[in-house]
Structure 1
């Protein structure tokens, strides 16, 4: 063994190259595109369809009330010349009260639709977050970032993007339920 320092140096270089390769190939910092997960998740599509159905039904109820009120208003306009002053005042008050009730109902329905939308969206997001937590544990990731296009991740190598892989697993899990 004439050159032990040379042998040690070569071994150190080989070990360094292997360590760098291992560190690169087993990156524990990865990300998913949150927007793609939400739009590509089958549960989102199902939940949105159910939500749209409920919201349209609520809106059609409001539209029906408004149409009836407008019909009453037109009838009032046609017949107002035949009313006594007392009847005229009473009919105007009734129409005004009905309009205020419809407006209040319309606002309540709009608020209910917004709350339902938030609830449905949060349910989908919770499912995605739960799945990602388990996915991260199962694959030994230290951190999985969520990129949403808002600037929280400005650049990441595409090899660290798990979006498609997570989306496939998420949809497969949803399909089993």
Structure 2
């Protein structure tokens, strides 16, 4: 009888020591996409992309006009002069292409750097939010399937989005 009581007491101690864990999940992609700083960045960045595209188009048009002028006057030039001007035109086109590629890569790098910074900010916010609100775990749901299923009551995506945007309202 003593053994049964001591085993029962031991089981009771183990059960009472376990605390309830608070677990939730967020849709990572939705949080980042609805983060106001990201939305505002994308609007500003879109303007940069449009400016770049206009510049690229104007470069293309300018070189096309030069090519047409060259073609019109090349018939009256000596073969050597035509070849020299053609090479100069070709070199100019290559330089423009190189410049545009470099600008495009720079623009892509700038965009990726900003997105990475925003993702880090969201992760840090979710971590702090979890600590401050007593969560044991906040899981990230995404297309890769880290959360295959979660009860709607445990989805705090909208709460996180609202809190994140409220905290960053002054920075917009």
TM-score by length of 1: 0.81
Q: 2:118 aligns with which of 124, 138, 160?
A: 124
CA deviations on 1:108-144 (whole Å, 9 max, x unpaired) are 1221121122012112212211211110110121221
Backbone CA RMSD of aligned residues: 2.3
Determine if the alignment matches structure 1 residue 176 to structure 2 residue 170. Answer: yes
Which piece of structure 1 moves more, 128-137 or 104-113? 104-113
Unmatched tracts of structure 1, length 5 or more: 1-11
Aligned to 1:134: 128
* 1:23-172 matches, cutoff 5 A: 23=20, 27-172=21-166
Name the count of aligned residue pairs. Answer: 160
Unmatched tracts of structure 2, length 5 or more: 1-11
Please identify runs of 4+ aligned residues in structure 1 that moved more than 2 A. none
In structure 1, the residue corresponding to 2:75 is in which secondary structure?
Answer: helix
TM-score by length of 2: 0.83
